[in-house]
Amino acid sequence: MVDNNLLQNIDELIDQKKWESIKQIWAQNKPEDIADILKSLSVTNVVVAFRLVPKDKAADVLAELDPAQQEYILTHIIDSHIKELLEEMPPDDRTSVFEEIPGQLKQKLLNLLSPEERKESLALLGYPENSVGRLMTPDYVVVKPDWTVEKAIRHIKKVGADAETINMIYVEDDNLKLLDDIPIRRFLLAESKSKVSDIMDGEFVCLHADDDQEEAYKIIKKYDLNVLPVIDNEGILIGIVTVDDILDVLEEETTEDFQKSSAIVPVEEKYYTASVFRLYTKRIGWLMILLLTDFFSSTIIAHYQDSLKAVIALAFFIPILIDSGGNIAAQSSTLIIRALATGSLTVKKWFLVVKKELVVGIMIGLSLGIILYVRGFFWRGGPTIGLVVAMSMFAITIWSNLLGSLLPIILTRFKLDPAVISSPLLTTVVDSTGLLIYFTLAGYVFHLG
């Protein structure tokens, strides 16, 4: 949370050109806190304030900023400063920056890097979007199985400062193939003359560079790890992925799913940096589609207008039935989507879902149907109307529950994003089909033509 007084103070100090005072404030704050303040500054003040960030914090601050601000800063500071910033950034953070900026600027920045850094960045950018390869960093510590523990510790002290983490030390053979991962405490507690092979257990969990980033999250959660090695198809260690990178991905995925569930095309930037037109374009497409699908509901009502004229009480229960159907479908789809996302449910278990949700649908349908029967009996239309709306609620509930639970599984089976169907589109489909069920049952009971 940004301190509003501090934020106002920074703006005033910039207006008064009190650069030393700003430097002192930056020196007293962590990179994450500095980034929060910069995110809230006006565009014209962001670059000025960023230039005053201490050199040892600048790269970390840049990595924490939003893509739009990163791009703005990188286009408004001199090349020598950019080069220094990029080379200070961890490879995975640098890759994240490159992913978000336009191609022309990306090429300019790549050309500023040293040949070794440029090769490393291009290698990471060569992996598919949303793959583990885009997240991994090549900064890790490796030892050999025939080394003594004493030699391994000397090596860790020598190269560990430049590593992403030294919580886990990796063992590879002469062909660079990963043999094991060993917690640093095992080295510290072992006899100095022991061989590294003596403290190996050969048990490790790893990822492939082409694996999806969500797979990394599932494995880290399942095995309660904070870092995972990444290998290629030949088992060669090529990088590591840390839990902080996975948490960033999780936050992005959660935000994206929330937006999709409300029929919004995912907005890649923060709300306060997105323009009005960008927000409009992200929302209007789905709203037009939903409007067109709503035409089906109005067409169905128009088709059964004679039935409504004959038994006007039928109209009173339309909102109750279609809203209940939409809510039931949304509930079941949310449960299944979350279960699929966390790995507690797989596509292969679809028949289990059918059996379970069928029983749940029957139980919910009976409960809601009884309430509606009583409502129809005493409020409008008498026992016959009560029977029609109760039967309709029962049928709509079972149908909505099965539809909401099976569609995510079907979409997942065809490698489509199941979060899309928890949007109002699902509700709209249930509305139309619910009306058909209602009027069909009403026509049968009242013998309407």
Q: How many domains does the chain have?
A: 3
Asked whether residue 406 falls in the same domain as residue 329, the answer is yes
Instruction: Identify the CATH number of the domain in which residue 284 sits.
Output: 1.10.357.20
Is residue 110 classed exposed, middle or buried when 0-12, 13-18 and 19+ CB atoms within 10 A define those classes? Answer: middle
pLDDT tens, per residue, the chain with 449 residues: 455 566 667 878 888 888 888 888 898 889 888 988 888 887 778 888 888 898 888 888 888 888 878 888 888 877 777 778 888 888 888 888 887 777 667 767 877 787 778 777 867 777 887 888 888 888 899 999 999 999 999 999 999 988 888 999 999 998 889 999 999 999 999 999 999 999 999 899 999 988 988 888 888 888 889 999 999 888 889 889 988 888 777 766 666 665 555 545 555 556 666 677 877 887 777 778 777 777 878 888 888 888 777 788 888 899 899 889 988 998 898 888 878 877 778 888 888 899 999 999 999 999 999 999 998 888 766 888 899 999 999 999 999 999 999 988 988 888 777 766 556 668 778 888 999 999 999 888 887 75
| Residue 26 forms part of a structural domain | yes
Asked whether residue 331 falls in the same domain as residue 408, the answer is yes
Which residues constitute the domain of residue 147?
142-248
Instruction: Identify the CATH number of the domain in which residue 243 sits.
Output: 3.10.580.10
| Residue 226 forms part of a structural domain | yes
Asked whether residue 77 falls in the same domain as residue 21, the answer is yes
Instruction: Identify the CATH number of the domain in which residue 38 sits.
Output: 1.25.60.10
| Residue 270 forms part of a structural domain | no
b vs e for 299-337, b when ≥16 Cβ sit within 10 Å of the residue's Cβ? ebeeebeebbeebebbeebbebbbebbbebbbbbbbbbb
Residues with Cβ within 8 Å of 105's Cβ and at least 6 positions away in sequence, in order, are 71, 74, 75
| Residue 183 forms part of a structural domain | yes
| Residue 67 forms part of a structural domain | yes
DSSP 128: P
| Residue 146 forms part of a structural domain | yes
Asked whether residue 375 falls in the same domain as residue 313, the answer is yes
Structure tokens at 357: 């949700």
Asked whether residue 114 falls in the same domain as residue 149, the answer is no
| Residue 255 forms part of a structural domain | no
Is residue 79 classed exposed, middle or buried when 0-12, 13-18 and 19+ CB atoms within 10 A define those classes? Answer: exposed
